[in-house]
Amino acid sequence: MHRVPAMAPGNYGMPVTLIATEALTKRYPNGVTALSDLTVDVPPGVIGLVGANGAGKSTLIKILLGLLPPTSGRVSVLGMDPTAEPEQVRARVGYMPEHDCLPPDLAAAEFVTHMARMSGLPRAAARERASETLRHVGLYEERYRAIGGYSTGMKQRVKLAQALVHDPDLLLLDEPTNGLDPAGRDAMLNLIDRIGSEFGISLVVCSHLLGEVERICDTLVAIDGGKLLRAANISAMTKASDVLAIEVTEGGDALAARLSARGLDVRADGRDLLVPLAGDETYDVVLAAIAELDLPLHRLDQRRHHVSDLFRDTAGEPAHVG
């Protein structure tokens, strides 16, 4: 049982368990097993759900929304069972699909208002919340223009706004940065980060890019081939594993050998050498070794351990779980 300790970062005012699955299995009629014996228990916060395409992320989301019945096993979302009361779950959950899902000929304000009413908000509240939400995602002046004329970044914001408009307790975002340029990616990730920290709404962010979600997540769940690879609290995972990155312009191999001789676990990462940071004495050892070898030190900095390193043993590609 993979239970992530509830280190509830922020006040989400919700049950300690956000999503819990128990031996969750989904087999499609064509024989494909999309999820296999998945047991995970995550607390409120920002959850990164990583896995390659076809790992089972979308199937898991559909089950969480009560759109797909699991073949076996149990699932609970916000303390409710999506197989037994799907409408109640969906009233409290917001979903942003991966693909295009916007009618081009409607204005964003009208579309988001309509979606708010579809979630059960009365007419006046729906209109008010729609313009509020569009303002929060950074669309305000443009909201009376037809969506068809929007840029990809603006469309992503409308997709996020329609998921957020009914003030859900949980947001499910499927590849929210898909198709965005680097600047748009950063803006979207910052927005997601704000939703989690300032708005107090829990999020599940699906991505096949680990490097992207690790920036903003409290909890990381990695699945592969429908099986749980690892689920852990990010700060707990990385706390004990900070590393010191050393970059010397020459003599890297000699330095690596010298450091290994001093009992440090040296690993090469591109042009950098990485050693586990135990404390100030690690700095002393490293600096002494560089001085003894008389090497030109280019850079020396403490680095937060990348989550990809944590999956290195279980997954092949460091930045691409799967």
Partner 1 sequence: MSVEKQPSGVIHDIGYQRYTGARLGRSYATRSLYIHSLRTALGLGRGPKAKIFPWLAEGILLLVAAIVTAIRAQGGEAVLSYSEFAGQLSFLLILFCAATAPELVSRDLRSGVLPLYFSRPIRRSDYAFGKLAGMATATWLLLAVPQTLMFIGGVFSVSGVSAVWDETIEYGQGLLASALFALLFGAISILIASLAGRRAVTAALIVVAFLVTTPIYAVIQEVGSGPVKQLAGLINPVTLVLITNAWLTGDDLEGLGGNYGAIYALSTLIAILVCVLLLLLRYRKVAR
> Which residues make up the interface to partner 1 (CB under 8 A)?
65, 67, 87-88, 90-91, 93, 95, 97, 99-106, 110, 114-115, 117-122, 125, 129, 132, 136, 146, 162, 166-167, 198-200
Q: How far apart are CA 205 and CA 155, in angstroms?
A: 18
Nearest CB to partner 1, comparing residues 95 and 311: 95
Is 55 in contact with 225 (CB distance < 8 Å)?
yes
- SS3 label, residue 198: coil
Compute the least distance from the CB of residue 300 to partner 1, in Å.
41
Is 309 in contact with 303 (CB distance < 8 Å)?
no
Nearest CB to partner 1, comparing residues 98 and 309: 98
Nearest CB to partner 1, comparing residues 172 and 213: 172
Nearest CB to partner 1, comparing residues 99 and 270: 99
Compute the least distance from the CB of residue 228 to partner 1, in Å.
24
φ/ψ of 23, rounded to 5, equals 50, 40
User: Do the bridges between strand 297-303 and strand 243-248 make them parallel or antiparallel, or are there none, so unpaired?
Assistant: antiparallel
Nearest CB to partner 1, comparing residues 63 and 275: 63
Compute the least distance from the CB of residue 167 to partner 1, in Å.
4
Compute the least distance from the CB of residue 218 to partner 1, in Å.
18
What is the distance, to the nearest Å, from the Cα of residue 90 to the centroid of all Cα atoms in its chain?
Answer: 21
Q: How far apart are CA 228 and CA 19, in angstroms?
A: 14
Compute the least distance from the CB of residue 46 to partner 1, in Å.
15
Q: How far apart are CA 287 and CA 178, in angstroms?
A: 43
Nearest CB to partner 1, comparing residues 65 and 300: 65
Question: Cα separations (Å) of 51 from 14, 68, 98, 207, 222?
Answer: 27, 20, 14, 7, 6
Compute the least distance from the CB of residue 105 to partner 1, in Å.
7
